[in-house]
Structure 1
């Protein structure tokens, strides 16, 4: 469960997964698929898509963009690096007041024409940032009337804290769109003839200390755009009838209540990093003893503390920045991670059968999810399987201890609270809901079945 935050309460966001090197896609989910009732909320045979994904990660992808001092690097995991710096700049960290000089180089993607008349866009990136380096990710969109947004900063990011404070950027708007922490959103999406985002570009700026060699490496970058319609309910999907459960480690966020106030105090604020750590370890990756040396040795599950510190957004003042969680997951060996939306529980079942657990975002009142025992304005949990009847098996970090994390939730209730875009809060006020947001973490070179599943749900 995430602590209530005005910015996050105002809108929803997304997760997608993609892999690098051997993944041949990065395509938009450009056509509606038969029987995907939840695509539009208007029944089977929907005629248009609502989710569009585009990521760059191959050597050819990095070559295709416009370089300003960067270079494409080939190899088993192609990437983008600084070649000859384009110049020098000074950055004053708003959270420390420290002013530092940096060399920089930039890369601008080709324009991507969205398959979706979009109301939101969320960037994702996977990168290595050694000490003395950091990256900035920006998006610029074209409206359906041909005018463009400014370049919006979607994140200033480093895996550590020694050079800059990892941060989103508040206050960015042009009066038609606004950046809310990690999501670029149209201000009035509910209007029938309202503004929509037609296409977009992504810009990366890589920084290093002046005179240094090397620098950051970006392995994957891109965005998910979506135009999910307003809906309080979604048509239920048909269960596959096959039980399947993945053995994912179980971690409780609640055992960390009061730990590290500088990283939002544990407990309900740590659902996102706790969920991230579960899936990172499912794939066989773990922080090293050196990574954990700073954690109080009396604390249980110190890796969750490490995940919270590594995802903390100094502007948001919390660990719930979705792309920051994906970027953290991708710091582990040969891991790839993105943010997207999925269309239905059918998509989730496809991924689970291929061995891919999924982190999902949802909000609900206590009576809307039988067996949860709590309500939330925003919460992340990890879907690890389905029963034979199609009910959802989740590792829910909002549990009193690790042993209690595994839960089984009723399919129709769970699907509705995850996929709807509108709901009523405890005061009876109409508010936004997350609309199918999820995090997808996979190996950089997924297996054949995993690739097929990712293609099937439209993320590559």
Structure 2
């Protein structure tokens, strides 16, 4: 391994650009001297700050759907409410930039009420849970109001289809109003130091289907995580409260190096779908033999290849689109998924205690994570437990074999590389960190303990 990402070769269209911009804005003040880890503030203070930094709002109940404005949709009630196409609002042509085909689609729309974020935000990430059978797809958009009262344009946050035979799922580059921009899957204020923030937002769903059919996508959840995480090289140490390890399947991405290079250069960049597949199977779901029939039978763990193909973002040219991974998880029976941020390892321990593993995103030098043996500009792993001493037990897909995937990493090192927003890269320049981004996947009918743990971290 070298300091290029072993699992997510980030194109210039994504967070590398954002990292450069943020580093340029803050390097003068931040590059002086990062405080030592040992001097971190106490856990209670950290929890108080974390609660004011992240706001989650997801629409998922029949009441939620009825509270929005629909045009051509109807609300499904029952055990799992959702939105479907009723009488289409109209038809439109879509020129797919990745297939070269222009096709006509019927569509219907739903627009959420305005949500005023509890956190005036520098970033927002939308995610959605939807069934999109062949002949259907959806688009998710976000429009916001800035803290000065002016409005953003409607931004496309993703065009999603579980399959790839109708359209190629895609993010949309080049979206900006010179005050905010979309970086693949993330809304970001261009100059946070100016004090400008996203004060409120709406989401708009467009449901598409082939004309003249009764086909429909079904959207079960849509929402966003808005956040304002302060610039920090180090984070407070969180109190250790849970020692438990979950039994999670182990898959290595590295055993797939060279397989299907059309999907993000093959397994060397498949940390996100490999992590997703581990957790999907932890919950007892997996692709069928028919789903996997396209995979070369000589390849072990074909479900990892399957996950890479069906999370692949044709614009980003990679499998690391965060909401696309969440949406892929919910293409399996009765699954929920969101992209959010957590405030501490105590939050992760609360979820682990309830039986919910956490997929985390982090970047680090090889010297910053003892035992990893590599450095990365962006990598997904799965936290599956904590030792009696509080160290992190992780399924790390950047391992030479499935049996080597289970790792134990030092707690203090782990929480810092995951929760910080600033770091020094291999060249000594200031780069960004993810500030606690994670994926949470759980079944539609969680236990009472799981429901409580999710609510405690702001997810309902």
TM-score range, shorter chain: over 0.9
RMSD: 1.2
Work out the CA distance in 1 between the residues paired with 2:393 and 2:51.
30
Q: Which residue of 1 aligns with 2:9?
A: 3
Partner-residue secondary structure (3-state), 2:108:
strand
Cα offset, 1:8, TM superposition: 2.6
Q: How does 1:71-90 map to 2 (within 5 A)?
A: 71-90=74-93
Aligned length, in residue pairs: 431
Alignment of 1:292-307 (within 5 A): 292-307=292-307
Find the aligned partners of 2:74 and 2:413 in 1 and give their Cα distance: 49
Question: For structure 2, which runs of at least 5 residues remain unmatched after alignment?
Answer: 1-6, 20-41
Q: Is the 8 A contact 2:50 2:343 kept in 1?
A: no
- Secondary structure at the aligned position of 1:327 is classed as helix
Equivalent of 1:187, from 187, 190, 199?
Answer: 190
- Change in Cα spacing, 1:47 to 1:169, as seen in structure 2 (3 Å) is closer
The alpha-carbon deviation at position 262 of structure 1 amounts to 1.2
Task: Tell me, yes or no, if the aligned pair for 1:89 and 1:104 is still in contact at 8 Å.
Answer: yes
Contact 2:135 2:215 in 1 (8 A): no
In structure 2, the residue matched to 1:139 is 142
Flag the 1:47–1:419 CA change in 2: closer, same or farther, 3 A. Answer: closer
Q: Measure, in 1, the Cα distance between the counterparts of 2:83 and 2:63.
A: 11
Task: Quote the residue 1:18 is aligned against.
Answer: none
Equivalent in the alignment of 1:264: 264
Structure 1, unpaired ranges of 5+:
13-33, 40-44
Counterpart for residue 49 of structure 1 = 52
Partner of 1:219: 220
Alpha-carbon contact 2:136-2:215 (below 8 Å) kept: no
* Structure 1 residues 199-238: aligned runs within 5 Å: 199-238=200-239
Offset of 1:243 from its aligned partner? 1.8
Aligned position for 1:27: none
Q: TM-score, normalised by structure 2?
A: 0.92
Residue 382 of structure 1: SS of its match in structure 2? strand
Answer yes or no: is the 8 Å Cα contact 2:43–2:239 preserved in 1: no
Among 84, 92, 96, the residue aligned to 1:93: 96
SS of 1:60 mapped into structure 2: helix
Three-state SS of the structure 2 residue aligned to 1:262 is: coil
Deviations 1:343-386 (A, max 9, x none): 00000000000000000000000000000000000000000000
SS of the residue corresponding to residue 118 of structure 2 reads strand
* Alpha-carbon distance between aligned partners in 2 of 1:457 and 1:107, rounded to the nearest angstrom: 27
The residue that corresponds to 1:153 in the other structure is: 156
Preserved contact between residue 51 and residue 343 of structure 2 (Cα < 8 Å): no
| CA–CA distance in structure 2, aligned partners of residues 186 and 380 of structure 1 | 24
